[in-house]
Structure 1
Amino acid sequence: MLVRWLLTTMLSSATATSAQPYLLVLGVPHFANHHRDIVNANVEDVLTPARQREIERLVTALAATRPNHVAVEWSTTKQASLDERYAAYRAGRYVLSSDEVDQIGLRLAVMLNLPRVDAVNWLEEAPGTDDDYDFGKWLTAHGRSDELAKLTADGQQRTDARDALNRCRPIADWLRDLNSPAYVAWDDSLYFRIANFGDAVNNPGAAWVGAWHARNLRIAGNLRRIAGEPGDRTVAVFGAGHADLLRRYGTGMGFEVANTNAALPPPTRSRCLAK
């Protein structure tokens, strides 16, 4: 069944003709549980044999889209360190960590025998001062700190429920959920709530959301620079919060943006995996 599906995917890609560069953005949870966001997933160990088989199946499906670039959430200023890691992995001197850069990005690039993995993230300081973006401080000063507490609690409750469900379904289904229109709409709603954390004179919430959009515009611009020529085909692996913006900005920058979920392995029956 998987072989037939992969063959169909490859034939469909091969017969498609477009002068536009191709971009598939794969939104993922942070497999290594960095916990740097307002709302954080708690991903179970992806290094177990069962989860590793699922990742291999996922990467095989992504390879069927025939990318000649794999781009990851790694700062452009640190491309050299990513090159070193990739070279060590290709030479058998590096064991993959649980991070999605390794598990999906490096693994996919090696499967395709690509010369490098592209670092396209932007992590520099936004213009202005910290206070320009500190909506938490503003809310506290204006007696509205409960609004941030509610947003965080609502988001974490929903994320925790998804984490519980994920323990009983394969990784491809985690990603199908995170790249669905329903998840995108919910994720967008959080940013729009944050954008109202301010007033007509000083709105650090709107400034923070604006900086988030600016960051993703820079990332999309980096993608365009490294893989924006006709015939280029890119799989970009990023935290799920980035994915929809990168798709939108990628479209605006001239990419043929793929339907991510159509490239994932077919859904399978949910079941609880033994730990």
Structure 2
Amino acid sequence: MTGKLHPTVQSKKKPMKKICILIGVVTLIFSCKNEKQTITEEKTVSPISEISDKQPVIAILGTFHFANTSDYSAIVLEDGFSPKRQKEMKEIVAQLAMYRPTKILVEREPSYTDTLNLQFSKYLNNEFELPINELYQIGFRLAKKLGHKKLYGIDKHMNLGDEDLVAHLNKHGLMDSFSTTIKNASTYGKKHTAYLKEHSIGKTLITINTKEGEDFNRNLYLDHILTSSELENAPSITYVTNWYKRNIHIKHNIDRITEKKDRILVIIGAGHSAILNDFYRNSNVIQYAEITDYLTDE
């Protein structure tokens, strides 16, 4: 996910790690350093030709970070470059190709789109090896398979108000109670890490994109961050408001890219997808497709 509490948090008793709970469950990381590189790819297939002429369609894949992070709720992939995991990633790509997306949108800001597509062009010419990052491992492979010429960045970076929230919690002696939220996030990450060790990446993505997974990511903000202080104008209100504002900006970026005959695929952290799914499920202008209709657990 990508809304984090970055500042170092301290209670009166002992220092705490950075509270990176809001995004760590399942999103793309913007700076994935020390990423290794990979492998050759299968040939491309013909571009999509048959598209609905009624309304555009959107499907949203909520992900965890293939490149491991230090977030409390991070799901850890230990062996992303192993033959087994690489095979699983290619299987996910084959499944998503059945959705027939005409545009692939990823968790990068629009200003990064030119750099992204320079990388993609090099990848098509076998001059760019894919880092362990779902944007590349899934997004680039799928775009190549479908004969796409580009991908699209739709993220929006914002200061959510981390420092104000942390200062408020410390000032009012609320950090110890807030640690329960951190613990819940950590438990969620560990639970899914254990699941991933025994199951495929595809099966893990299915569990993340269930109602249970969406509810966790949404309610982390609404049931826990928002209620971390009872004061009328607490920074927690601003924090959660900014988180929703950020996702509204992302929705706007999606909408302005979407054309009448498009089948849009969004690849984004599950902290975002939980909210974006709410936005699009009841839309009157864009048809919504459940991503789990295209992911199989076989």
| TM-score, normalisation: structure 2 | 0.78
Alignment of 1:2-21 (within 5 A): 19-21=54-56
Q: Give the CA deviation at 1:60.
A: 0.7
Structure 2 contact 80–132 (Cα < 8 Å) conserved? yes
Q: Give the CA deviation at 1:78.
A: 1.2
Query: How far apart, CA to CA, are the structure 1 residues paired with 2:168 and 2:72?
Result: 16
Q: Counterpart in 2 of 1:79? A: 113
Q: Give the CA deviation at 1:87.
A: 0.7
Q: Give the CA deviation at 1:217.
A: 0.8
Q: Give the CA deviation at 1:34.
A: 3.4
Q: Counterpart in 1 of 2:292? A: 261
- Partner amino acid for 2:57? Y
Q: How many correspondences in the alignment?
A: 249
Deviations 1:1-44 (A, max 9, x none): xxxxxxxxxxxxx9995622111100010111234x55322222
Query: How far apart, CA to CA, are the structure 1 residues paired with 2:143 and 2:188?
Result: 33
Structure 2 counterpart of 1:246, from 253, 268, 276: 276
Structure 2 contact 56–286 (Cα < 8 Å) conserved? yes
Aligned with 1:74: secondary structure?
coil
Q: Counterpart in 1 of 2:97? A: 63
Aligned with 1:42: secondary structure?
coil
- Report the identity percentage: 27
Q: Counterpart in 2 of 1:226? A: 257
Q: Counterpart in 2 of 1:141? A: 171
Is the deviation greater in 69-78 or in 117-126? Answer: 117-126
Q: Counterpart in 1 of 2:183? A: 153
Task: Name the CA shift for 1:159/1:38 in 2 (closer, same or farther; >3 Å).
Answer: closer
Runs (5+) with no aligned partner, structure 1: 1-13, 269-275
Over the aligned positions, Cα root-mean-square deviation in angstroms equals: 2.1
**Residue 54 (str. 1) matches residue 88 (str. 2):** yes
Aligned with 2:189: secondary structure?
helix
Q: Counterpart in 1 of 2:242? A: 211
Runs (5+) with no aligned partner, structure 2: 1-48
Alignment of 1:87-236 (within 5 A): 87-125=121-159, 134-192=164-222, 193-227=224-258, 229-236=259-266
Structure 1 contact 24–236 (Cα < 8 Å) conserved? yes
**Residue 27 (str. 1) matches residue 62 (str. 2):** yes
Q: Which has the higher helix share?
A: 1
Q: Counterpart in 1 of 2:79? A: 45
Query: How far apart, CA to CA, are the structure 2 residues paired with 1:38 and 1:167?
Result: 18
Deviations 1:200-220 (A, max 9, x none): 443111211111111111111
- Partner amino acid for 1:80? D
Query: How far apart, CA to CA, are the structure 1 residues paired with 2:247 and 2:290?
Result: 19
